[in-house]
A and B are shown apart, each in its own frame.
Chain A
């Protein structure tokens, strides 16, 4: 099982704060890095998939960057809102692999 590490494990911010979390993954045999958002009582929902070193993706107030050489990705949320409260999962896709290896997630709570 490939090790995908996410930090911090949990985060509590105030509405309006900007925040970021980290995903670390093996840099060898890299193929893709995925970010998912998992709200309580809902299905995990895809945010981004990134494949190239230096990739940056943005969706509204959420953005992500990728460094495949050093094996990390950052997820940024600008101006957090209570509806951003969720667990954010990253998943590593290995070249020639059939499946994804998921991290344990970062649990974000945004309070008004």
Chain B
């Protein structure tokens, strides 16, 4: 079974803090993704990575950066957390190939509250 884990289920941070969200997958997947999910909105892609050290902006990258130093780990970084980044963050991974067709395997999510 594919397993995608995220470092925290719940996180509370203060405005201006630097926040790291970690994601680890154990299936040797090339593709990894970070999404956020807000009430009334679909999952929105923040960043994705198709290989180590490679990254591409998604639909809403502003205020975020990512790091992929190892194949199994994809980190989302909030350089200076703001209240509008309060959200549920989901990580996913998929096999190599077109992300359009490959099934994505999701982690359980991190609910982040920025005060």
**Contact surface of A with B, Cβ cutoff 8 Å:** 1, 4, 31-32, 34, 36, 41-46, 49, 51, 89, 91, 93-105
Contacts and interface: CB of A to CB of B under 8 A. Distances in A.
B48 A103 contact: no
A93 B45 CA distance: 13
Contacts of B58: 99
Interface residues of B, number: 27
B108 A43 contact: yes
A98 B50 contact: yes
Would you call the interface of chain B mostly helix, strand, loop, or mixed?
Answer: loop
The 4 closest A-B pairs by CB, nearest first: A93-B100, A102-B43, A102-B42, A31-B100
A1 B50 CA distance: 20
B42 A49 contact: no
Interface in B24-63: 31, 33, 35, 40-45, 48, 50, 56, 58-59
Nearest to B107: A43
B99 to A, nearest CB: 5
Contacts of A98: 31, 48, 50, 56, 98-100
Contact of B105 (A46, A89, A96, A102): A46
A43 B100 contact: no
B59 A1 contact: yes
Contacts of B99: 93, 97-100
A101 B35 CA distance: 11
Contact of B40 (A91, A96, A104): A104
B42 A31 contact: no
B90 interface: yes
